[in-house]
A = this chain, B = another copy of it.
Amino acid sequence: MRPSGRTASQIRPISITRNFTAHAEGSVLVEFGETKVICTASASDGVPRFMKGKGEGWITAEYGMLPRSTHTRCDREAARGKQGGRTLEIQRLIGRALRAAVDLKALGEHTITIDCDVIQADGGTRTASITGACVALVDALTFLRKKGSLKTNPLKHMIAAISVGVYKGEVIADLEYLEDSDAETDMNVVMTETGKLIEVQGTAEGEPFSFEEMNEMLEYARHAVREITDIQKAALA
C-alpha cells in the first residue's frame, strides 16, 4: 500500500553523521530516508535578557529550508524578509522539545542555539530535525563539560521524534512526502528515551480521526521512537 513498499509501522533507514561541519560545538547530518537536515548546536556564554539573573540556561532553535530542498523551488525567507508561519511553528516546537530534554538549572547561564537547515526534503523534516538536534546538543554539552564550563551533565534524557498518520484509511509511521501530502491525518510525536510524551501534534487534514486511530498512532510512535533512540545512542557511542 505504501509507495515505498514499507510495512505500515516501518520507518525509513535513519543515518546520523556527527561532526558534519567543522565550526559548531555539535554538528550532525541526519537522514530519514531522502530527508536530510544539517543540525548544529552552538554554545555561548550568557542567556537572553528575559532569562537573566535566574542562574539558568536557555536552549533555542531556528529552522530553515534551502530554497531547492523541495520539489519546486520555495522562496528564500531571508529574501522575502520574514519567516513564514510554518517555519516559526516548527522552530518553536524544536526549541520546546529540546528544552524538555535538559535541566536548565544544571546548564547554568549558557545558551545553546540549535540550527536545523533542511538540505533535502521528503517528509518528516521537523521530526528528523528534533532527532538530529538532540545528538548535536549532546555533543555541545560534552564540549562544555570538557571545557570545564559545566560540572554535571544537564541532559535529563535523550529525546527523539517521529511522524505518524492515517493514510488511505490505515495508520502508518514515518510518512514520506508522497504519503504526507495525501494523508487524512498527520501527527508528530516527540518522546523521551524512557517512553514518555513531550509533544503530540495531530491534525486532521481531511476527515476527522477517531480515538481508536489516535491510540494506534501513539503506539506506532512509541515503537518508532524506541528504534530511533537506539540509532542515536549508536551514533554517540
Number of identical protomers: 6
Residues of chain B with a CB closer than 8 A to A27's CB = 68
Residues of chain B with a CB closer than 8 A to A23's CB = 68-71, 120
Instruction: Please determine whether B120 and A22 come into contact, CB atoms closer than 8 angstroms.
Output: yes
Q: Which residue of B lies closest to A120 (CB)?
A: B21
Contact status of A73 and B113, CB under 8 A, knowing A83-B79, A89-B88: yes
A88 to B90 alpha-carbon distance, docked (Å): 12
Instruction: Please determine whether A62 and B76 come into contact, CB atoms closer than 8 angstroms.
Output: yes
B87, B209, B210, B211: the one contacting A78 at CB < 8 Å is B87
Q: List 13 A-B contacts (CB under 8 A).
A: A21-B36, A21-B66, A21-B68, A42-B67, A62-B79, A64-B76, A79-B83, A85-B92, A96-B203, A100-B208, A119-B119, A194-B208, A211-B222
Listed from nearest, the 8 A-B pairs whose CB atoms lie closest are A196-B208, A77-B78, A85-B88, A40-B68, A78-B78, A200-B202, A24-B68, A42-B73
